[in-house]
Amino acid sequence: MILKGVNVMITGAAGGIGRHIAGAFASRGANLSLVDMSEESLAPVLEMAKEKGVSAVPVVADITKDEDIERAVRETEVELGSVGVLVNNAGIMPFKTAIDHSPGEIMATLMVNVYGPMRLTQTVLPGMIKSGSGRVVNIGSTFGSLAFPYFSVYSATKSAMRSFSEALRRELQEVKGVGVTYVAPRAVRSTQPPVFFEMAKKMKMSLDEPTKVASVIVRAVEKEESEVYLGGSEKLFMFINKIKPTMVDGGLKKQIEIMKEYSPKMQKK
């Protein structure tokens, strides 16, 4: 897929990964629809797009609300034209035991990580199908294939997006020019609190740099790839998890002890 002149809508565009994704697409000459909760937080991303010589529009929207989703797409179409690539990047990642999640936290995670991306996809897909060109990009996680303790709700949402991407890809097989890409990074070195990185180091957790993740996403779109997973040893664990999940249970015992130690600290961040 040639990205020059294509209109790319990115949710969570002001976040640690989102701004790097925006920069990577802008470097290819794509125009940007930058979706986030605050116009102020989008200002530096808009400035970056301006410096790279591409068109960009800030869209302040809450992707858990249907009226905001529809308005975000309308504003993009008015300012730039039809959406050629949708990057469902916005997400939240609570860290605590399954029993400690409040009902509000569970609902918020489901709405941001699953409902919003699905509804945005429903909103932009008809235009892509009509034009015979487009790609939906869903940002997942290693935790979507390898469910991790203390990330139970987050893992569940990323597993949902992996399945949604797979099903949607199969539905669109006969639609020429329209596709789906699912990208699953490991933990990303972005906006988490310092205590998270302290825990990650103790666990010997591999962290991906946001610039690397962004370049992988853009390359996957250009090559029209269906699924991309980052990491080496994680892929092995995912394979083992497929054939015998209980083997992974025992392999995570040391990490669980560390997470148990850090859970109270993370809640105080």
Cβ-contact 141, 117 below 8 angstroms: no
Task: Kindly tell me if the per-residue pLDDT of 227 is higher than 90.
Answer: yes
**92 close to 113: Cβ distance less than 8 angstroms:** yes
What integer pLDDT is reported at residue 125 of this predicted model? 98
**Identified catalytic residue from 150, 154, 182, 262:** 154
Distances (CA, A) of 238 to 127, 144, 146, 148, 229: 35, 10, 6, 11, 10
Q: Go through the domains of the chain in sequence order and give each one's CATH number.
A: 7-192+206-232 (3.40.50.720)
**Predicted pLDDT of residue 18:** 96
pTM listed for this prediction: 0.91
Residue 42: burial class (beta carbons within 10 Å; 0-12, 13-18, 19+): buried
Res. 232 pLDDT band, cuts 50 70 90? low
pLDDT at 213 over 90: yes
Only one residue has tokens 């509000």, namely 104
User: With 80 as the cut, is the pLDDT of residue 146 above it?
Assistant: yes
Note the Cα 8 to chain centre separation in Å. Answer: 14
Is 150 an active-site residue? no
The tens digit of pLDDT for each residue in 43-98 reads: 999 999 999 999 999 999 999 999 999 999 999 999 999 999 999 999 999 989 99
Strand partners, 57: 33
Alpha carbons 10 and 71: distance in angstroms, whole number: 15
